[in-house]
Amino acid sequence: MGEIKIPELAESITEGTVAQWLKKTGEYVEKGDYIVELETDKVNVEIISEESGILQELKANEGDTVQVGEIIAIVSEGSANTKAAEEPPKAAVPEAPVVNEAPPVKEEPSPLKPEAKGYPIASPSARKLAREKGIDLSQVLSNDPLGRLRAHDVIEHDRRKEQPAPPAPKEKETKQPKAEANPGKPTERVRMTRRRQTIASRLVEVQQNTAMLTTFNEVDMSNIMNLRNKRKDQFHKENDVKLGFMSFFTKAVVACLKKAPLLNAEIQGDEIVLKKFYDIGIAVSTDDGLVVPVLRDADRKNFAEIESDIMTFADKARNNKLSLADLQGGTFTITNGGVFGSLLSTPILNGPQVGILGMHKIQMRPVAIDKERMENRPMMYLALSYDHRIIDGKEAVTFLARVKALLEDPESLLFEA
């Protein structure tokens, strides 16, 4: 008899939600088989069985919240052959002819191939997407040589469907309690995902527990855009990665953090922890909300390494492949609302960090060159939110002005240590 427990996931993660059981009671599982998908605050993880045997009991249902160390299933001793051998006598008790049906039991697929029993091998993102769209994964075709289903397979299957999705959601909709303020009006109640609940909780916590202020500036992107247009082909040829804007901003931020160390710190009790390393969080939007993978040792990376890491993060985020290690830590965050068209916003701190830089949409605006001339320039508003408990306004404004100066003279970034 063996117990399946929720393992230690990460220092900051103490619980999760059972998203989907990958095995059913009565099935044989091998040690190392994935048996359940767990949705945590940051990523979805698949929990493996530490025992081989028959899955005797599930102690948590899909949607239940479970704690680290909690027992979620019981595995009894036995093997695939043991289960097969036990089944014929049950059928043989009523009448002898049933005994002849025992041979088909031997034709069961190997327990090492869960897809043969009607449980396709699929990534967490594929299963999540299928659940949201009401798609049976056994009907989805895989483009993977090993038969593993991924999110893009589910998307492609959904596009090929000639008829709309089953009306099940509409039936649920009619059963949901109607809003009291608008009786008779159609409504729909959707349970927040664990990740969305965590995002909501942390944002409220930051607002309540910090003295957050935001200062603004604007940067003329002309020189960066000219330099990028001039060097992008050669850069791509030599490094096999595109030259974007984020590497310029990351370099500028790191250079300025070295001169304003309090923005690279955090508060612990009555102490200020000054961090002598520069792990920059890069905010990435996903269907489940914002995630912030961390660019480690950004001060030691060149432009190509920064762009390559950011591209990897974006690809992982799209395919729900970010690991807990990718998301942990971080000393300062950069977020870019401009990719969605935001002209100006107030970014909220990513606690326990005390600073976050918001980038915005590049827009042509008339700019006074001198007393006599005006020109249309590609301008971007910058927003720096900071914790006023340890950062004074002067330091925050000076930091943002330095960032602006470096970005408007991008070649100067080459001389920053």
Catalytic annotation, residues: 388, 392
Q: What 3-state class would DSSP assign to 295? A: strand
What are the angstrom distances between the C-alpha of 365 and each of 219, 334, 351, 405? 11, 24, 34, 19
Q: Compute the half-sphere exposure of residue 162: CA atoms within 13 Å on the CB side of its CA.
A: 0
How big is the chain by its Cα radius of gyration, in Å? 27
What are the angstrom distances between the C-alpha of 64 and each of 23, 100, 145? 16, 42, 34
Phi, psi for 172 (deg, rounded to 5) = -65, -35
User: How far apart are the C-alpha atoms of 180 and 157, rounded to whole Å?
Assistant: 39
The number of residues in the chain equals 417
Phi, psi for 358 (deg, rounded to 5) = -105, 125
Residues 6+ apart with CB under 8 A from 207: 348
Is-contact 95 85, C-beta < 8 A? no
Which residues share a beta bridge with 39? 17, 44
Enter the DSSP assignment of 142: P
User: What number of H helices and E strands is found in the chain?
Assistant: 11, 19
Cα of first residue to Cα of last residue in the chain, in angstroms, is 60
Burial (CB < 10 A; 0-12, 13-18, 19+), residue 96, is exposed
Pairing of strands 332-336, 280-282: parallel
Q: Which amino acid is at 398?
A: T
Is-contact 333 281, C-beta < 8 A? yes
Determine which helix (DSSP H) or strand (DSSP E) holds 65, and give its type and residue range.
Answer: strand 65-67
Q: Which two tokens stand for residue 18?
A: 């059972």
Q: Compute the half-sphere exposure of residue 231: CA atoms within 13 Å on the CB side of its CA.
A: 17
User: How far apart are the C-alpha atoms of 311 and 308, rounded to whole Å?
Assistant: 5
